[in-house]
Structure 1
């Protein structure tokens, strides 16, 4: 598991991105559970994630509606199979509107550029 913390900050919200090998929904649950063993990540507002399996995309928005699909699209563009990416957000008290999707994209791009 690779974690990059505090990579984006906007209007009080802070973002991190994590990832690692993942080939099934069960492995994704274990990955998230392991990530959330850290109190910091367990207390996050959203841990949005996605990975591409042989059966198609698997995602979870964790309350950040539409963010999982943003991750899926980027994984598909990179043709990255069997690798989960988790974008974590700590809500800062102000709504970000459409900027939140740009931040998810930027977090995934950061991971792809620095972890692979």
Structure 2
């Protein structure tokens, strides 16, 4: 995937995560910003992307925080520089935002450790089902509970997210099988999905996605899970096509449907949820 495509995917994921908090200042020049923190104590992080980000360049950033002294701003800038240096060639905007949030100590009950926020795991190592079965107790081979999200409707097309906590590839198949028992879901135009699973015993990861005819949709869902760093989750988005082409809006609805059901299942870290 070229740099521009990666940037587009990353920005779409950030919009799905942060909602209106993420601002596009100058789309043509790839300039964005976000307020991090509470009101008068907030830090505004300005981001500008070069054409060769992320393959070669890191994001250019600027911190605006009148309430902080120079030494504090320099400290934050040094930490952001460390994030960029440690993740050359990777998408890092989410890590930058959360690094600032961590420094401000806005959420002492973080669901993610510092290491997991700075070092998003991108491995695609495959673990066979037979190996997983040997590692997992029988109870984890049962079909997990499935949470269904709200339906998003636009120009007669409908989008609905579904999510389940999974800890084996077999559970992924079980969840999909259970969903497809619903004739309405089975007969939908698209059922795109993505999942990430981490096996603590072997320190191995498995992740995959499926477009189901909606080109790039599965990959975008996987990127959303990666950028939030959610593991052991399967997210499915069902689309019923209404006969009117939605263009790129369909990807926004897919991301929003996924984000909504992840939030409903309380799987998004509290500090990344859009403030209602």
TM-score, with structure 2 as normaliser: 0.40
Partner of 1:104: 254
**Offset, 1:56:** 4.1
2:134 matched to 1:2?
no
Structure 1: give runs of 5+ residues left out of the alignment: none
**Offset, 1:30:** 1.7
Aligned length: 115
Structure 2: give runs of 5+ residues left out of the alignment: 1-145, 199-204, 267-276
Higher relative contact order, chain-length normalized (CA < 8 Å, sep 6+): 1
Partner of 1:18: 162
Q: Structure 2 CA distance, aligned partners of 1:64 and 1:24?
A: 25
Is the Cα contact below 8 Å between 1:48 and 1:62 reproduced in 2?
Answer: yes
2:240 matched to 1:90?
yes
Q: Structure 2 CA distance, aligned partners of 1:47 and 1:71?
A: 12
Is the Cα contact below 8 Å between 2:161 and 2:235 reproduced in 1?
Answer: yes
- Work out which of the residue numbers 162, 175, 193 in structure 2 matches 1:49: 193
TM-score, with structure 1 as normaliser: 0.90
**Offset, 1:86:** 0.3
Question: How big is the alpha-carbon RMSD for the aligned residues of Structure 1 and Structure 2?
Answer: 1.4
Q: Structure 1 CA distance, aligned partners of 2:165 and 2:262?
A: 13
Q: Structure 2 CA distance, aligned partners of 1:79 and 1:9?
A: 28
Structure 2 vs 1, CA of residues 103 and 37 (structure 1 numbering), >3 Å: closer, same or farther? same
Greater strand share, structure number: 1
**Offset, 1:39:** 1.2
Q: Structure 2 CA distance, aligned partners of 1:22 and 1:60?
A: 16
